[in-house]
Amino acid sequence: MSVRRVMGIETEYGISMPGAPHANPMVLSGQVVSAYAVAHGVRAARGSWDYADEAPLRDARGFEMSRGVAHPSQLTDEWGITDAADDPTLANVVLTNGARLYVDHAHPEYSSPEVTNPRDAVTWDRAGELVMRESVATLAASPPGVNLYKNNTDGKGASYGTHENYLMRRSTAFADIVRHLTPFFVARQVMCGSGRVGVGTDSQWPGYQIAQRSDFFEVEVGLETTLKRPIINTRDEPHATADKYRRLHVIIGDANHCDVANLLKLGTTALVLDLIEAGAVTDDLTVRNPVSTLQAISRDPSCTHKLELADGRRLTAIELLWRYFEMSRARLEATGEGSERHTAEVMRWWEDVLTKLEADPMGAAREVDWVAKLQVLEGFRQREGLEWNDPKLKAIDIQWSDVRPDKGLFNKLRAAGRFTELVAEDAVRAAVTDPPHDTRAYFRGRCLDRFGDNVVAASWDSVIFEVPGQRALHRVPMLEPLRGTREAVRELLDQADDVADLIRSLAVAD
């Protein structure tokens, strides 16, 4: 048991054009993607996305939704290989770090490359912030430009996602995942919520809450991601060997700026998934009315709300998380894997943050986004004598997540040393262009770097090459996420004189 598993983060960024509140967000998002692509010599038709293996309507419960009844936002496999010159709202590129940068309906999205541990997930997620920051700076040269925000709601009723992905064993019963993961997700927000001014989907009531996304969830289990949002999403699209892997698509998290909170979001979830896979959940923590409980916890920054379990016990979210912590610690002691460095780091921070939240939530301001934001807002409220419905507080909330270093409040406070940083800035800068070393993202990213002119399309599980002088395209499948690593393919890539040489070498290696 450990936190090590294939994982990644997808982040949709909030977008606006200064002085033009009604500007088309899809067009603006296309400009963001295209600005970065052009600056780095990448056309949307070079390194585009391969949709051949996508199946967004396949449900983990054993059926496939009819395309006729699916919401258009769910049909993410219909675009094909496109050129942003034909339609900028379809701008879509694969980056040399193995990530995907594209327009996801009304938002620019950065989908990080696959990694194998939470620290790397934080690193390549922060790399996405620098990608978006560069696009904003590029577009600012032609006013009015655009502004981007790493957040999850505009405060006016719109919500957009920060999704996590975890590979799991296909053999694990999905019913067990739902049963044991739902209580954890209901409570997890006290460690990794990003904080929000306003209560209700339209911020119709004044106040402050722990998580940005909680008010937007309506059901316990479901396939949708943009309407009737479920706590447990059932999309069964593994992007890997289907009879071996299940990709758990998690849509309930917030976009994090704090390294510790982001690490805990990924790391504690990985540990709970290990408990579920091993059948080692020894305490049934099933929550009564999980959707309303999720929202009640979010609306209680004191963290004293008592949720009710199915067996009648009443616990705070912190107390429930301690139960998961204790089960994880017992499992690690039994397996002897607690000393693995990434696992030990997560366990250390898990205990530290829960201890601080339990004593006084404000004591976790260096580690937890919602606490840090609340501390700033309360200081401003007291100085100015403001109520929670004051528009100035909503403006601060939005400005907190601005990606620009001189405008974003979080960025300015981070520069002042207000937060605990786990990842050095030079590592984040390197991750903007370099792929992770220990997953197939290495092969994908290096192919874009070395042979970008010959890459027609790519996806999480394939790269399609055009070889000069040959009529047929060459599709290289990558269904095993732990193949295509630096150790396995660096020599092949470095020694290949051209793409034809690479294709021949891969054929021999197989």
H helices within 14-64, ranges in order?
A: 25-39
What pLDDT is attached to residue 89? Answer: 76
Residue 80 pLDDT level (bands cut at 50, 70, 90): very low
Q: What is the mean pLDDT of residues 360-385?
A: 97
With a pLDDT cut of 70, the percent of the chain lying above it is 90
Asked if 394 contacts 195 with a C-beta cutoff of 8 angstroms, the reply is no
What pLDDT is attached to residue 86? Answer: 58
DSSP per residue, 78-95: ---S--TTT-GGG-EEE-
> In this predicted structure, which of 11-25, 41-55, 235-249, 445-459 has the lowest mean pLDDT?
41-55
Give Cβ neighbours of residue 341 (< 8 Å, ≥ 6 apart): none
Q: What is the mean pLDDT of residues 112-131?
A: 98
Residue 42 corresponds to which tokens in the numbers above?
């990448």
Q: What is the mean pLDDT of residues 458-477?
A: 92
Q: Is the peptide bond before 468 cis (omega within 30 degrees of 0)?
A: no
Q: What is the mean pLDDT of residues 40-55?
A: 62
Active site includes 449?
A: no
Backbone angles phi, psi at 211, to 5 degrees: -120, 145
Residue 246 pLDDT level (bands cut at 50, 70, 90): very high
The per-residue b/e assignment along 84-114, b for 16 or more CB within 10 angstroms, e otherwise, is beeebbbbbbbbbbbbbbbbbebbbbbbbbb
pTM above 0.85, yes or no: yes
Q: At what angle do helices 341-359 and 118-140 cross, to 10 degrees?
A: 80
The residues that bridge with 48 in the sheet, in sequence order, are 457
Residue 416 pLDDT level (bands cut at 50, 70, 90): very high
Residue 281 pLDDT level (bands cut at 50, 70, 90): very high
What pLDDT is attached to residue 49? Answer: 67
What pLDDT is attached to residue 82? Answer: 45
At residue 153, does pLDDT exceed 80? yes
Number of CB atoms found within 10 A of residue 333's CB: 11
Question: Could you say which architecture CATH assigns to the domain 7-430?
Answer: 2-Layer Sandwich (3.30)
From 104, 125, 254, 397, the catalytic residue: 104
Looking at every residue in the chain, the average pLDDT score rounds to 91
Residue 507 pLDDT level (bands cut at 50, 70, 90): confident
Q: List % helix, strand, coil for the chain (3-state, nearest 5).
A: 40, 15, 40
What pLDDT is attached to residue 46? Answer: 43
Asked if 2 contacts 339 with a C-beta cutoff of 8 angstroms, the reply is no
At residue 413, does pLDDT exceed 50? yes
